Chains A and B, each alone.
Chain A
Amino acid sequence: MNPGRWVVRAVPWVWLLLFFLIPFVIVLKISFAETALTQPPYTPLLEWGQSVYPTIKLHTANYLRLAGDSLYLDAFLNSLKVAAVSTLLCLLVAYPMAYGIARAERSWRNVLLLLVMLPFWTSFLLRVYAWIGLLRNNGLINNTLLALGIIREPIVMMQTDFAMYVGIVYSYLPFMILPLYANLEKHDVSLLEAAADLGCRPLRAFLQVTLPLSVPGIIAGSMLVFIPAVGEFVIPRLLGGVDSLMIGRVLWDEYFLNRDWPVASAVAISLLIFLVVPIMVFEHFQARARAAEAQ
């Protein structure tokens, strides 16, 4: 094979090796160390004593601590719950939008997609802070409602789950809309005509034809929202209540407040395993279903 091809093939592998696999191995290594008042703040994995061979010092204490202390499990489960609810809310908001864009006139579609992505051109933090301006007690929403005489007391929205979900759904919405749009846009309109022709009312046609055919888009969008939402740290911290215990926040606290890198690494590794393993299992079954279908 000519060398040019090897270079092209090697680029993604080198990229993954440098920026994914090596950092992963480092974090994995730290997760098996113990905290120490050194620089860096953990014990080395390998120790050279008198012998020629180094002794490996694996400390599983960090993982045992994760299993033993209910704080970590609670934070993890709460993160899963928040991510799942956010994903569902995103789906409910994004589906009609993606459908609308996909069914809009061709000349309008790109404009509408651009509008979906436009907020990304400003800083993420700025947009979250903007929500604080809207939601706080003397914010735009409360002031408007007060001025209109609809409410007498400001509604407390900041530091609640409501504000946190608003922030997460708002921030991750485009990640749900884009894969859904990519899927829905490819749908053959004549399938819906065929359904109508066979006596199917529009709502049933949607449920029996459009929805099942858009499942790949729903899965792709849900993955893109769910996975980062589990580890989300900034939005719960800025908009959510103090009691919203999330794994991202635990991770932050372990690293920066406790300076306990090994435990933080163990949290990160467990999170990865809990997220990646189900996805790989799911992918495995998907691939098998596809293979069975292709027969």
Chain B
Amino acid sequence: MSAAGEQRQPYIRIDKVTKKFGEFVAVNEVSLDIQRGEIFCLLGGSGCGKTTLLRMLAGFTEPSAGRIYIDGVDMAGVPPYERPVNMMFQSYALFPHMTVEQNVAFGLKQEGRPAAEIRQRVADMLGIVRLTEFARRKPHQLSGGQRQRVALARSLVKKPKLLLLDEPLGALDRKLREHTQFELVNIQEQLGVTFVVVTHDQEEAMTLATRIGVMNQGRIVQVGTPHEIYEFPQSRFVADFIGNVNLFGGRLIEDEPDHVLIDSPELGGQIYVGHGISAAPHAEVWVAVRPEKIQLSRARPPAPHNCVAGTVKEIAYMGDMSVLLLRLDNGRTVRVTQPNTWRHADDQLTWDERVWLSWHESSGVVVTQ
């Protein structure tokens, strides 16, 4: 489905929305546009306001200030039962006194659809989530994964234009999560629904989302594709929250359009970054370097910058890769990951060995806040 021909107006417009609970500001002047057909993830730690924002989209709470538009319609004062939105609850909120079938049929019955149509649509939906043989069971007779699929079926059967998912994979074990993640994406593509997903799990956000909005203390701190969020974090918070990162504080000593040079006492050397930034001279900045982007070698690399010596302190073997913690001469610990490409390696690094750490000039990202 292509939205190119349609109006460019965003499907959801969140306009300077604030939500206060007493003195506590849960959501602080958030503005956000979400396009039709997107899988948008709101990512953040507990208490960052992501669930409150989702509940305002569903209509369970009203914003203290600001407006929410869905498909161009102002949602102020529209009760949840009149919104073109369905939600999949974190607790699933399945009706315990109804069978799987009745749970899924509930929404259609509210619309007063004919019985034959309800039966057909429920059967189709149960087929999609592969629960046909469990139709007559009650929720307490199902496993966690099955309940999750009932919740999904119940929220999708009304063919909502917008589906809100609150930590959809939270209660599932690792294998099932991975499976369900891909299944969700498939269903989303099949039905062309817009998804807004709330999660605290960056891995979940990375695999599901077309775009991620990272939230902290009631504000959206960065919006971008998973790739942008991971490779171009705009703040220390985002760099640190998504994946692992080594942050080196320092001062700007050379600021050219095509590169910057930073003197970092934390690293014990100078850092050369191959992109220009906009910051005052001698400003305090941080350089973020991902652990997988650092190379290790026994001999000193020829490069003049981004190069420092250290000692191997810890090695954690993870199977597909190894995590090494290295202590620099100034006492700072740096995290480096190395893929285990070969099954047999005679020349492995070992504890207390002296090595050189280095990274390419394009690998570091400068953040100013």
Report which A residues bind B (CB closer than 8 A): 188, 190-191, 193-201, 204, 208-209, 212-213, 293, 295
CA–CA, A199 and B109, complex, Å:
9
Using an 8 Å CB-CB cutoff, how does the interface string of B93-111 with A read, 1 for contact, 0 for none? 1111100000000110011
Q: Are A199 and B95 in contact (CB under 8 A)?
A: no
Q: Are A190 and B93 in contact (CB under 8 A)?
A: yes
Q: Are B158 and A199 in contact (CB under 8 A)?
A: yes
9 pairs, A vs B, C-beta closer than 8 Å: A191-B95, A193-B87, A194-B93, A195-B95, A195-B106, A196-B59, A196-B80, A198-B154, A200-B106
Q: Among the listed B58, B91, B95, B96, which residue makes an inter-chain contact with A197, where contact means beta carbons less than 8 Å apart?
A: B58
Q: Are A193 and B89 in contact (CB under 8 A)?
A: yes
Given contacts A193-B60, A204-B110, contact A198 B93 (CB under 8 A): no
Q: Does B205 contact A (CB under 8 A)?
A: no
Q: Are B85 and A197 in contact (CB under 8 A)?
A: yes
Contacts A197-B81, A198-B86 known; list 4 others, CB within 8 Å: A190-B89, A193-B60, A199-B110, A293-B138
Q: Among the listed B93, B97, B106, B141, which residue makes an inter-chain contact with A193, where contact means beta carbons less than 8 Å apart?
A: B93
Chain B residues with CB below 8 A from A209, complex form: 95
CB proximity of B342 to chain A, nearest CB, Å: 51
Q: Does B72 contact A (CB under 8 A)?
A: no
Q: Are A198 and B97 in contact (CB under 8 A)?
A: no
Q: Are A193 and B110 in contact (CB under 8 A)?
A: no
Q: Are B110 and A197 in contact (CB under 8 A)?
A: no
CB proximity of B183 to chain A, nearest CB, Å: 21
Given contacts A193-B60, A293-B138, contact A199 B107 (CB under 8 A): yes
Q: Does B47 contact A (CB under 8 A)?
A: no
Chain A residues with CB below 8 A from B96, complex form: 213
Q: Are B89 and A201 in contact (CB under 8 A)?
A: no
| A-B residue pairs, 8 tightest by C-beta | A198-B107, A199-B110, A194-B93, A190-B93, A196-B80, A196-B81, A200-B110, A197-B87
CA–CA, A194 and B81, complex, Å:
9
Q: Are A212 and B97 in contact (CB under 8 A)?
A: yes
Task: Tell me the nearest residue of chain B to A295, going by C-beta.
Answer: B141
CA–CA, A200 and B111, complex, Å:
9
Chain A residues with CB below 8 A from B60, complex form: 193, 196
Q: Does B276 contact A (CB under 8 A)?
A: no
Chain A residues with CB below 8 A from B91, complex form: 188, 190
Q: Does B339 contact A (CB under 8 A)?
A: no
Q: Does B127 contact A (CB under 8 A)?
A: no
CA–CA, A195 and B111, complex, Å:
12
Q: Are B85 and A198 in contact (CB under 8 A)?
A: no
Q: Does B79 contact A (CB under 8 A)?
A: yes
CA–CA, A198 and B79, complex, Å:
11
Task: Tell me the nearest residue of chain A to B83, going by C-beta.
Answer: A197
CB proximity of A168 to chain B, nearest CB, Å: 31
CB proximity of B186 to chain A, nearest CB, Å: 23
Task: Tell me the nearest residue of chain B to A194, going by C-beta.
Answer: B93
Q: Which of A191, A199, A200, A208 has the most C-beta atoms of chain B within 10 angstroms of its own C-beta? A: A199
CB proximity of B319 to chain A, nearest CB, Å: 39
Tell me which residues from 297 to 354 in chain B have a Cβ below 8 Å from any Cβ of chain A.
Answer: none
Chain A residues with CB below 8 A from B107, complex form: 198-199
Q: Among the listed A188, A197, A295, which residue makes an inter-chain contact with B80, where contact means beta carbons less than 8 Å apart?
A: A197
Chain B residues with CB below 8 A from A208, complex form: 106
Task: Tell me the nearest residue of chain A to B151, going by C-beta.
Answer: A194
CA–CA, A12 and B97, complex, Å:
34
CA–CA, A197 and B160, complex, Å:
11
Chain B residues with CB below 8 A from A198, complex form: 81, 86, 106-107, 110, 154-155, 158
CA–CA, A195 and B95, complex, Å:
9
CA–CA, A201 and B111, complex, Å:
11
Chain A residues with CB below 8 A from B87, complex form: 193-194, 197
Tell me which residues from 85 to 138 in chain B have a Cβ below 8 Å from any Cβ of chain A.
Answer: 85-87, 89, 91, 93-97, 106-107, 110-111, 138
Q: Are A199 and B111 in contact (CB under 8 A)?
A: yes
Chain B residues with CB below 8 A from A293, complex form: 138, 141
CA–CA, A212 and B99, complex, Å:
13
Q: Are B97 and A197 in contact (CB under 8 A)?
A: no
Chain A residues with CB below 8 A from B94, complex form: 194
CA–CA, A204 and B85, complex, Å:
19
CA–CA, A85 and B95, complex, Å:
32
CA–CA, A191 and B96, complex, Å:
9
Using an 8 Å CB-CB cutoff, how does the interface string of B39-83 with A read, 1 for contact, 0 for none? 000000000000000000011100000000000000000011110
Chain A residues with CB below 8 A from B93, complex form: 188, 190-191, 193-194
Chain B residues with CB below 8 A from A201, complex form: 81
CB proximity of A199 to chain B, nearest CB, Å: 4
Chain A residues with CB below 8 A from B89, complex form: 190, 193-194
CB proximity of B116 to chain A, nearest CB, Å: 19
Task: Tell me the nearest residue of chain A to B106, going by C-beta.
Answer: A198
Q: Are A197 and B86 in contact (CB under 8 A)?
A: yes
CA–CA, A209 and B96, complex, Å:
9
Task: Tell me the nearest residue of chain A to B58, going by C-beta.
Answer: A197
CA–CA, A293 and B248, complex, Å:
60
CA–CA, A188 and B268, complex, Å:
56
Chain A residues with CB below 8 A from B95, complex form: 191, 194-195, 209
CB proximity of B61 to chain A, nearest CB, Å: 10
Given contacts A188-B91, A194-B89, A195-B106, contact A200 B97 (CB under 8 A): no
Chain B residues with CB below 8 A from A199, complex form: 81-82, 107, 110-111, 158
CA–CA, A190 and B82, complex, Å:
17
CA–CA, A194 and B138, complex, Å:
17
CA–CA, A104 and B87, complex, Å:
26
